[in-house]
Structure 1
């Protein structure tokens, strides 16, 4: 590792900021020694804020019906091989009840952009969850909606909203999405969520088609400036029924490298070790935690639908019951010196 790269890492650790060109240089400089130093610094920063705690979120995948046709996604509108489903309110409440019994204190309702979930339907579900479990946080990840919709859901009790920006480069965004989807609208949604008082999560794929060190540098600069409460990044994993079926997957090494950088950019950020990491490497989630992540998201969805929510091929944990899924992740975290804790896990600012 040369002196200039070392100076960039030290600058990032101290000021939490680099220029676009410096971020690109740091990405290009990835090697075993650089990754090890970044992971060491990121783990120390995370430990100073959160100790060895890993926060657990109960993921409920409410629907794989989506109006969008994103080129990378297995539940894209034009995939006729997708076995579609939608959970009823009763099924969602059963998932939440099981999760609460298991110790979950955050529920993440995630789904495609399904028109069934109007404001009235979704507000009713959020209100009911908050009424039954007032000590829990409700996180929504239901795509782009109007500002009025976000405001209604916030009034109903939603605490957090996850909306991955996918890429902070407009040209790159347009190469991953159909023409009717707008980079500018995605950014408007993220800023609107922040203005409405949500804890906001963004994020991007690592290794997506057409991605370069320059586009990744733009992602890092966006995170530096936006300062999300949560940031979900994971490797791109191709799906057999999409236009990107033959594109190579992202790597666990680059994903973990970027997790470490993001931890140094925004020290208190809530940073998941994603299921996609565990899909491309048997110890991917553990490696993510060791690189600075501090969130895991076991699946609370009914086992009967888990294989149907297939954003990418070979998704793991599709056959386990909720208790098995949580216990497995807890054991995995303990194996690398961390412990899963059961509380809301709000960002510490």
Structure 2
């Protein structure tokens, strides 16, 4: 698919045909299964200054929290008891949870449960990535947000584009199922730059790729900007599915926040993963990356039931498998 063809699809040239082809590709690769991921967001502290994120370090208007190690493990125990095959341990870049502490958490989870462990903790360095892999971590999510080195500093001031990209490649080299992704509609983005992002992230050969719309947060420098068009985000997901048939692609929570039945439409556009928060209800709403995130008052059990009902209502099957990457399976077969 050429850049010009991608731009035409992003402009809405053939939504019906695009989504039909993407859904057919998902079905061909993954069958009727939709993978489930439960996210435990254990810290809202972050040292970064990202201009789009409500957790940015300079934001002193939000309520910060940290779960204790025992609370994290209790949340994982509940997730496993509900039959979820994967936990995502996610937080801001919070130095309070050092390399050794996170390693012990991963080891304990792997000893207690036969589930996959995904980490999403930002740039923590090769030593940390290697140690956590040795402790049993299976997957790591490190979003780029854009693959454009000129735009990157506008979104993540004080951070180095090349270093982050090198971190993604290091995760791949260490044997993680590596995931990254982009935010569509960030200030300064055009459909041309988005098309470049799609092609560049595809070249990485990732196990997981996410694409969700920009949602402005009033307590950030981008608070007064326009949000990303959810339809463009759906088109991006569908194009990514066609270009990356074996990658896991989630229907993002941001999409659900800005568009009614957004996750359902995400699956219809080729997504094969549902990720949802099972963070304890006492703090869940305080993980306020963007407005509207985690505002539901459901228990973890209700959240899981709702996800399964959504999938079954579409004539699909909530998977009980670990939901490993087809990309990774291919690498193992070749090797």
Correspondent of 1:176 among 118, 142, 155: 155
Structure 2 partner of 1:303: 281
CA offsets 1:257-301 (integer angstroms, 9 cap, x no match): 111100110101100001111101120000000000010012111
Output the CA distance in 1 between the equivalents of 2:150 and 2:7: 18
Shift of 1:101: 0.8
Q: Is the 8 A contact 1:59 1:109 kept in 2?
A: yes
Shift of 1:26: 3.6
**Which 4+ runs in 1 deviate beyond 6 A?**
none
Output the CA distance in 2 between the equivalents of 1:205 and 1:329: 23
Structure 1 partner of 2:333: none
Q: How many residues align?
A: 327
The 10-residue stretch of structure 1 (212-221 or 257-266) with the greater mean CA deviation from structure 2 = 212-221
Structure 1 partner of 2:39: 59
Output the CA distance in 1 between the equivalents of 2:315 and 2:228: 27
Q: Secondary structure at the match of 2:276?
A: coil
Output the CA distance in 1 between the equivalents of 2:98 and 2:44: 15
Shift of 1:47: 0.5
In the TM superposition, what are the counterparts of 1:263-282 in structure 2 within 5 Å?
A: 263-282=241-260
Q: Secondary structure at the match of 1:140?
A: strand
- Whether 2:44 is the aligned partner of 1:23: answer no
Q: Is the 8 A contact 2:9 2:235 kept in 1?
A: no
Shift of 1:25: 4.0
Q: Is the 8 A contact 1:172 1:215 kept in 2?
A: no
Q: Secondary structure at the match of 1:231?
A: strand
Q: Secondary structure at the match of 1:72?
A: coil
In the TM superposition, what are the counterparts of 1:109-258 in structure 2 within 5 Å?
A: 109-133=89-113, 135-178=114-157, 180-258=158-236
Output the CA distance in 1 between the equivalents of 2:295 and 2:154: 30
Q: Is the 8 A contact 2:46 2:57 kept in 1?
A: yes
Q: Secondary structure at the match of 1:191?
A: helix
- Whether 2:268 is the aligned partner of 1:290: answer yes
- Whether 2:60 is the aligned partner of 1:76: answer no
Structure 1: give runs of 5+ residues left out of the alignment. 1-17
Correspondent of 1:342 among 316, 320, 332: 320
Output the CA distance in 2 between the equivalents of 1:213 and 1:321: 39
Structure 2: give runs of 5+ residues left out of the alignment. 331-335
**If the length of structure 1 is used for normalisation, what is the TM-score?**
0.91
CA offsets 1:115-136 (integer angstroms, 9 cap, x no match): 0111100000000000111x21
Output the CA distance in 1 between the equivalents of 2:45 and 2:104: 20
Q: Is the 8 A contact 1:126 1:157 kept in 2?
A: yes
Output the CA distance in 2 between the equivalents of 1:337 and 1:216: 32
Q: Is the 8 A contact 2:9 2:15 kept in 1?
A: no
Q: Is the 8 A contact 2:9 2:18 kept in 1?
A: no
